[in-house]
Structure 1
Amino acid sequence: MPEEGTGSTAGGDDAGLRRRWSELADKIRHHRDLYYNGQPSIPDADFDAIFRELQQLESEHPELAVPDSPTMEVGAPVAETSSFANVEHPERMLSLDNVFDTGELDDWLTRTPAARYLTELKIDGLSIDLVYRNGHLERAATRGDGRIGEDITANARVIDDIPHVLTTTADHPVPDLLEVRGEVFIAVEDFAEVNARRIADGGKPFANPRNAAAGSLRQKNTADVRKRRLRMICHGIGAVEGFTPRSQYDAYLALADWGLPVSPYTRAVGSVAEVHERVRYWAEHRHDATHEMDGVVIKVDDLAAQRALGSTSRAPRWAIAYKYPPEEVTTRLVDIQVGVGRTGRVTPFAVMEPVLVAGSTVSMATLHNQTEVRRKGVLIGDTVVIRKAGEVIPEVLGPVVEKRDGTERTFVFPTLCPECGTRLAPTRAEDADWRCPNSRSCPGQLSARLTYLAGRGAFDIEALGEKGAIDLIRSGILTDEAGLFALTEESLARSSVYTTKTGKVNAQGQKLLKNLRQAAERVELWRVLVALSIRHVGPTAARALASRFRSLEAMRSSDVTELAETEGVGEVIARSFLDWFEVDWHRAIVDAWAEAGVTMEDSVEDLPEQTLAGLTVVVTGSLENHTRDSAKEAIISRGGKASGSVSRKTDFVVVGENAGSKETKARELGLTILDEAGFDLLLAGGVEAVAAGD
């Protein structure tokens, strides 16, 4: 989203054009310096908009395109305050030009025909330049302005992915000089832990993995650098002596042989159609990669063709970056309101001017709790940065302080529930969250619980959504969840959502009644536990309890110690479970559901054969016949543990397309790796079936 006042100048006088050019150039240099040498204050999308406006201005008025224009520059000069020594790269590091839609991509492909292209993920990290002499790491540096960077050799030596000595092979002897370009990043799966440790140490959490990696690489204490779990992937070579690959792909094969990390997501393709297919694929699987990415880089593979195409002052002509819709943008925070969740938690949320982010228009974003509002420092009226990653609810990251004009005001957290007027308070003095204690009849809590129990993780009642849940409550059809499975056509006649204008139950109402009957008959016990909205009892604990005790009555008859002994449960969940049943109206819900035919126990006959009992299985990458959820369900229902991380305790690693670092780690540990066919064998017959299949 462009900054306010960045519309293009048309028809203005020469002085006006130059003034506009100077404004844009100053903004670009300012934000580029923050991006490379400090903390960015605007999202990449805003920067891209300013940069493209300057490019357009120079295209329309070539006299403005002076040699020192930001459109001709790479990166940003090393900050004068940097505590690292300046070093010159053996060969200049360039940037990449960007395209933002398929039309622009087609224009580039038409201008740049090739027999073969490489498609690579555009890693959202920090560029690094490594120099090896006779196979030994001599120096590591940041990009800087493309010629001069900062010497960060000591920090690079504590990054596990960067070898100190290259491994020579028969096919690829180590060259006398090798300059390697790559990207340093923090894996998505490590980011939460890095932030948690930073908060525990009294620091402010990083906004995203890219900022975390940039800040980490410039620390003076190498012990602190090591704690940040930095990783690196190579994506090019610079100066070289004693190595003459024919293609970029051949160069990557050699880098891998020498022990340098290359991306598992790179593909060589032979047509424009295949380029588009890879761009479409990663648009849909953007969050499957181990690292954050914001686009796909397309390169001409043949190195002779690359040399013939050459470069501009800032970017090669033989490569282009296709950037996806931004996941971070800025917009105006119009108001901060609060909502009430199914457990009574009162959560502030941002009401914003609608803005396009990650391919969809959003106008609301979470602020978590009142403590977070204060920590983030946002005021009503601020221009704020919001982030939306995939299906994740948009989140306000913080304000753009430099855009404040003095009209902004502080958010005051309410003392009364906005849904029922009950006084709010934390459950415990140390809790950050405030809750509404009117859990039975607060309309906000009840509608949220109904919507939750209708979801796929519980009863999977397709015809009961948020709108229907609110209607059932406000029309007086339901006073709590107890009567849900006793609904009839007569009771639905008072509904405005499930009836026609003549007052008869409509098709959606008939579907709701059918869905309720089906859910009652076939639901698994663990899903019933989830549907009860017992605090702390999520799907993992519910599965564990149901698998061990087989019936709700057996669980209720157990004490805290017995329940806590269940793997994945523990004392907090066990006590919360038993405390829930101390409430009269909670027990009434269970009794009413049981009377309506909802299953309260699992039959042994209904269970799949426990072929994975005692086994830990990790599934990584995309499988053809299993979604991520269905694969997890298949493992757990057969007695296995579906883990999200690879360790020495892992029994099997199932590898699909674009598996990434988990496959690499599994091979390093010597674990048993299965393809999808092997996974199906494992599900059907366990270890013996896999052994027989080999």
Structure 2
Amino acid sequence: MDAEQNPLFDGAELAKATSDPAARAEALRREIEHHSYQYYALDAPTISDAAFDSLMRELREIEAAHPELVTASSPTQRVGGYVGEQFAPVVHERRMYSLDNAMDLDELDEWMERTAEACGGVLPPLCCELKIDGSSIALTYEDGVLVRAATRGDGTTGEDVTVNMRTVRDVPLRLREEARASIAPGVEALELRGEVYMPKKSFEALNAAAEEEGRAPFANPRNAAAGSLRQKDAAVTKMRDLSTFMYAIADDGALEVEGQWELLQWLRKAGFHVNPDVRLCTTAEEVRGFCRECLERRESLPYEIDGVVVKVNDFARQRAMGFTARAPRWAIAFKFPPEEKTTLLRDITVQVGRTGALTPVAELVPVVVAGSTVARATLHNLDEVHRKDVRVGDTVIVRKAGDVIPEVLGPVLSLRSPEARIWEMPSVCPSCGSPVVRDPGEVAFRCISIDCPAQALERLLHWASRGALDIDGMGEEIVSRLVESGRVADVADYYSLSEEELASLDMGRVKADGEPVRLGHTVAKKLVAAIEASKGRTFARVLFGLGIRHVGKTTAEAIAAAYPSMDALAAAGEDELAGIYGVGPKVAHGMWLFFRTPDNVSVIERLRAAGVTMADEAAAPGEEVPQVLAGLTFVLTGTLTHSGMTRDEAGARLKAMGAKVSGSVSKKTSFVVAGENAGSKYDKAVALGVPVLDEAQLLNLLETGEVPREV
């Protein structure tokens, strides 16, 4: 690692470190401590595992050659990691050690030779398991019940993440009875250990969502798992789709099992998720063969691995071999080599996401990385491009982040061409030519045009969704075919579709006789009726359906209550919009920009001409709705069959008149509106003595604003 790559070394220090072992050892310790903190405490590593391992190996070599330089605080003398202050500390039953690494098969052979010598000259049976690239976890069970979960931390003390781990679906809250019989007499608590990981597909989806929202993506699935595990809000952890593989126990004497292979069988019997790729080997060649097989199969696995863990199987032999200062002598991690390649960055293009977010993409001279050809790689956002100083025409280093997503690490500065060009975000959308905006405080640039082709499919699906205009039957397959055939480009185009046009739509499949499959008149007739019915949805649902940035369902209802017509809303100033309860400056700015984008105005006028609701019936354009229901709370239950309204539409009209609409009944509820097939909410209202309105009384209330005195 040279000075240019390593900000912790200056030139003078590096020169001294090269010739002075003591200075070099101290510089390495500071560098390793820095990267350990980035990795364990911040979940934000800044160098690859291979680079970190290289630093540690060099320090070990110096200390081996100069024992007088070994200090108690050296990273070689302790388990790496930090205990954060966000969670309560948990002292592990026994220390959680790191593993020594074998970086190639020769080093693995050397370890097996030492192991054979320690076992009387004969290699003992070895249990070989995949090394899962995740975050270590310790689960404690008392009387068979999960009572505590802790991260590894510094190996002695971890962080209490019990609440978050309870959200991980494959963690049993209670051990299965058939496994508890194997717990040794007198043992009340078991500390079981394993790895929390995030599947590749879940990791890709998480990063895709982050990029759409302009947030920095996770570097790899391991960091995503660690970051998800240490969330303050357990609901976030639950959404992250974490899984576990369990493989160890703090005290092997707590179970009546004799070795690692038997322990894995017990863990599976107890209800834990145990990795199926494990092999009990009796010869060195079998171990090497398993490692080679796993390296070849690495890409096909649904989760990340970074090597193979090889352990002496017998627990008695493990105890006899013991530990070094930081790792067990009876186990080693055969690490797979990370693969990084250099290639030419031909250009940087822009990809427009479904929410209008613009993402820079590196267009590369194709190169094979980790078994697959990489020609494009995300650069995340403009700030990242500038931070890495990546320029068009550079020779760049490419790898797969977590060996999954192609990533540009940075340029090879020594190979930079004088013609290399600094890249900037375009001022207009490459898809539609509309202006690009960047909200204050946000990373992402966005196109806000409703007519942008790159956003068309998602906008069309959103408009037809149940919470918006509710065009029944207009699903993704049909919308995709409408877009591909050129029949629909924006939401206003829905209202010019005829039954004949829909019936003849080619669905992209063929019959047995080779004829294309058409949508057909039966479905087309229902769709036309659904499109016609959508014209009568409330103004708030139309606002929500337009997909205006930051305007969700609740915000749309608040806006429609304050400005119950499209004309009044379009004419409102930015400060006026910011004054609406629940809106604020950020949403107001997005609204204001939306109505000043010509493409958006054009779509709205076409919707108006088609007969789509442009104002609430309760008020004339620009007229505020009297807040006659302020202070009252309503709960709606059952189906409204006579008015043609959904419960959401009825709720929106009640909110427009100042009421609060709740989803649950309590003593504080003012009225329960009960349609047909009302269920438990009606029963609870009766039990609590809450007044109940039928649909006719609701309609009278909405039309007159008069609250019933007697119900």
TM tier, smaller: 0.5 to 0.7
Once the two structures are superposed, residues 457-504 of structure 1 have per-residue CA deviations (whole angstroms, 9 ceiling, x without a partner) of xxxxxxxxxxxxxxxxxxxxxxxxxxxxxxxxxxxxxxxxxxxxxxxx
Other-structure match for 1:22? 26
2:98 to 95, 104, 123: 95
Aligned pair 1:257/2:269, yes or no? yes
Q: Counterparts of 1:147 and 1:77 in 2: how far apart (Å)?
A: 10
Q: Counterparts of 1:356 and 1:275 in 2: how far apart (Å)?
A: 28
Q: Counterparts of 1:153 and 1:414 in 2: how far apart (Å)?
A: 47
1:160 to 164, 169, 176: 169
2:251 to 239, 247, 251: 239
Q: Counterparts of 1:179 and 1:29 in 2: how far apart (Å)?
A: 29
User: Cα offset for 1:228?
Assistant: 1.1
Matches within 5 A, 1:178-327: 178-198=190-210, 203-239=215-251, 242-327=254-339
Supply the AA of the counterpart residue of 1:96: L
Q: Counterparts of 2:175 and 2:403 in 1: how far apart (Å)?
A: 41
- 3-state SS of 1:45 partner: helix
CA RMSD of aligned residues (A): 4.6
1:115 to 121, 124, 132: 124
In 1, are the aligned partners of 2:214 and 2:381 still within 8 Å (CA)?
no
In 1, are the aligned partners of 2:179 and 2:266 still within 8 Å (CA)?
no
Other-structure match for 2:389? 379
Q: Counterparts of 2:176 and 2:2 in 1: how far apart (Å)?
A: 48
In 2, are the aligned partners of 1:72 and 1:313 still within 8 Å (CA)?
yes
In 2, are the aligned partners of 1:155 and 1:225 still within 8 Å (CA)?
yes
**Judging changes above 3 Å, is the alpha-carbon distance between structure 1 residues 393 and 90 closer, same or farther for their aligned structure 2 residues?**
closer
Q: Which has the larger radius of gyration?
A: 2
**Judging changes above 3 Å, is the alpha-carbon distance between structure 1 residues 89 and 107 closer, same or farther for their aligned structure 2 residues?**
same
**Judging changes above 3 Å, is the alpha-carbon distance between structure 1 residues 606 and 390 closer, same or farther for their aligned structure 2 residues?**
farther
User: Cα offset for 1:248?
Assistant: 0.5
Aligned pair 1:41/2:50, yes or no? no
**Judging changes above 3 Å, is the alpha-carbon distance between structure 1 residues 309 and 2 closer, same or farther for their aligned structure 2 residues?**
farther
Supply the AA of the counterpart residue of 2:49: D
**Judging changes above 3 Å, is the alpha-carbon distance between structure 1 residues 201 and 379 closer, same or farther for their aligned structure 2 residues?**
closer
Structure 1: which 5+ runs fail to align? Answer: 401-407, 416-422, 435-534, 538-564, 581-599, 608-694
Once the two structures are superposed, residues 116-148 of structure 1 have per-residue CA deviations (whole angstroms, 9 ceiling, x without a partner) of 211111111111111212212222111111111
User: Cα offset for 1:409?
Assistant: 8.0
**Judging changes above 3 Å, is the alpha-carbon distance between structure 1 residues 335 and 189 closer, same or farther for their aligned structure 2 residues?**
closer
Q: Counterparts of 1:221 and 1:424 in 2: how far apart (Å)?
A: 36
User: Cα offset for 1:384?
Assistant: 7.9
Supply the AA of the counterpart residue of 2:136: S
May I ask how many residue pairs the two structures share in their alignment? 438
Other-structure match for 1:683? none
- 3-state SS of 1:149 partner: strand
Other-structure match for 1:132? 141
- 3-state SS of 1:285 partner: helix
Supply the AA of the counterpart residue of 2:111: W
Aligned pair 1:145/2:154, yes or no? yes
Q: Counterparts of 1:579 and 1:53 in 2: how far apart (Å)?
A: 65
In 1, are the aligned partners of 2:219 and 2:402 still within 8 Å (CA)?
no
Supply the AA of the counterpart residue of 2:279: R
Q: Counterparts of 2:237 and 2:405 in 1: how far apart (Å)?
A: 31
| TM-score in terms of structure 1 length | 0.54
**Judging changes above 3 Å, is the alpha-carbon distance between structure 1 residues 242 and 279 closer, same or farther for their aligned structure 2 residues?**
closer
Other-structure match for 2:67? 62
Other-structure match for 2:484? 576
Q: Counterparts of 2:360 and 2:17 in 1: how far apart (Å)?
A: 52
- 3-state SS of 2:280 partner: strand
Aligned pair 1:349/2:365, yes or no? no
Other-structure match for 1:657? none
Other-structure match for 1:74? 79
In 2, are the aligned partners of 1:336 and 1:411 still within 8 Å (CA)?
no
**Judging changes above 3 Å, is the alpha-carbon distance between structure 1 residues 162 and 110 closer, same or farther for their aligned structure 2 residues?**
same
Other-structure match for 1:550? none
Once the two structures are superposed, residues 557-581 of structure 1 have per-residue CA deviations (whole angstroms, 9 ceiling, x without a partner) of xxxxxxxx9997432344324689x
- 3-state SS of 2:276 partner: coil
Supply the AA of the counterpart residue of 2:389: L
Supply the AA of the counterpart residue of 1:269: C
Q: Counterparts of 1:65 and 1:391 in 2: how far apart (Å)?
A: 35
Matches within 5 A, 1:173-572: 173-174=182-183, 175-198=187-210, 203-239=215-251, 242-327=254-339, 337-338=347-348, 348-349=361-362, 358=370, 366-368=376-378, 372-374=381-383, 377-380=387-390, 386-388=398-400, 394-396=406-408, 410-412=422-424, 425-427=430-432, 429=434, 569-572=477-480
**Judging changes above 3 Å, is the alpha-carbon distance between structure 1 residues 91 and 260 closer, same or farther for their aligned structure 2 residues?**
same
